[in-house]
């Protein structure tokens, strides 16, 4: 089984009153658009894309699906503060899925990857995408990090982003 973890792109400044509605910035959207060719070259084909309900995560999931196909499924269990204990039942709700994409927040995604792989630490910058592979059912300590894409791979720093 393969699990993908995509941190939402760069979003506006946090507002204490309504952090849920915070959207991607223009540069955050542009960086995710720039990632699309790489995502396609990697032949990413998740069976299900599960997204946090927060605007910035949903926008990221929509841009991902626009690039590789499919449509995101919003799941409240991916809200900020989610642990592997929240992500696992969200995944289990799709029992036929062999490749699952989680689109969410930090430090939740990196903590889940650490728990699943036993890595000392993982750094998921905005727009980062990680792939964790399992020889069986995903469980803590049973996964291997196949790769982690840093957003610097697909942003053009010559344009000041």
In this predicted structure, what is the pLDDT of residue 160? 43
In this predicted structure, what is the pLDDT of residue 42? 93
In this predicted structure, what is the pLDDT of residue 161? 39
Q: How many domains does the chain have?
A: 1
In this predicted structure, what is the pLDDT of residue 156? 61
Cα 10 from Cα 129, distance rounded (Å): 13
In this predicted structure, what is the pLDDT of residue 129? 97
Q: Phi first, then psi: give them for residue 99, nearest 5 degrees.
A: -130, 115
Query: Does 150 reside within a domain?
Result: yes
In this predicted structure, what is the pLDDT of residue 16? 53
Query: Does 16 reside within a domain?
Result: no
User: How many C-beta neighbours within 10 Å does residue 56 have?
Assistant: 26
Domain containing 120 equals: 2-10+21-159
The CA R_g of the chain, rounded to the nearest whole Å, is 15
The predicted model scores a pTM of 0.93
Which CATH number covers residue 131? 3.40.50.1240
Query: Does 15 reside within a domain?
Result: no
Cα 14 from Cα 23, distance rounded (Å): 10
Query: What are the pLDDT tens digits along the chain (161 aa)?
Result: 999 999 999 998 776 556 777 899 999 999 999 999 999 999 999 999 999 999 999 999 999 999 999 999 999 999 999 999 999 999 999 999 999 999 999 999 999 999 999 999 999 999 999 999 999 889 999 999 999 999 888 766 444 43
* Secondary element (H or E) of residue 102: strand 99-104
């Amino acid at each position: 089984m393969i699990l993908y973890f995509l941190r939402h792109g760069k979003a506006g400044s946090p507002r204490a009153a309504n952090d849920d509605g915070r959207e991607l910035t223009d540069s955050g959207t542009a960086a995710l658009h720039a990632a699309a060719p790489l995502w396609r070259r990697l032949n990413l084909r998740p069976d299900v894309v599960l997204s946090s309900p927060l605007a910035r995560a949903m926008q990221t999931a929509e841009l991902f699906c626009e690039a590789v196909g499919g449509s995101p499924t919003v799941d409240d269990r991916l809200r900020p503060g989610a642990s592997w204990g929240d992500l696992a039942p969200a995944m289990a709700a799709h029992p036929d899925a062999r490749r699952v994409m989680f689109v969410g927040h930090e430090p939740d995604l990196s903590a889940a990857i650490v728990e699943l792989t036993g890595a000392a630490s993982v750094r998921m910058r905005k727009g980062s995408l990680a792939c964790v592979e399992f020889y069986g059912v995903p469980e803590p300590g049973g996964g291997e990090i196949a790769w982690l894409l840093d957003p610097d791979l697909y942003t053009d720093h010559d344009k000041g982003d």
